């Protein structure tokens, strides 16, 4: 069973996705995008209610 099939984020089906990792499931979307992230960007992503960082794939849930 392919998880991307059930992910609500449409970046999995794009050939030119502008993000490296999916913000909904954390799976790699595009290996061509090179970006750096830090704690400030992670905080912004949390405020946007993303579950995963689109730059590094790290889970943004606070435990």
**pTM of this prediction?**
0.76
SS3 assignment for the chain: CCHHHHCCCHHHHCCCCCCCECCCCCCECCCCCCCCCCHHHHHHHHHCCCCECCCCCCECCCC
> Is pLDDT at 4 greater than 70 in this prediction?
no
What is the distance between the alpha carbons of residues 2 and 56, in angstroms, rounded to a whole number?
21
Number of structural domains in the chain: 1
Could you tell me if residue 22 is inside a domain? yes
| Residue-number span of the structural domain to which 28 is assigned | 3-47
Structure tokens at 40: 């400030």
pLDDT in tens, 6-51: 788 888 888 888 899 999 999 999 888 888 889 999 999 999 999 9
Classify residue 54: in a domain, yes or no: no
21 occurs within a structural domain = yes
Q: Would 17 be classed as within a structural domain?
A: yes
The reply to whether 10 falls in a domain is yes
């Amino acid at each position: 069973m392919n998880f991307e099939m059930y992910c609500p984020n449409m970046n999995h089906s794009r050939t030119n996705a502008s993000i490296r990792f999916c913000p909904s499931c954390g799976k790699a979307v595009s290996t061509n995008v090179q970006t750096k992230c830090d704690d400030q960007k992670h905080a912004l992503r949390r405020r946007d209610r993303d579950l995963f960082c689109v730059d590094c794939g790290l889970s943004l849930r606070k435990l």
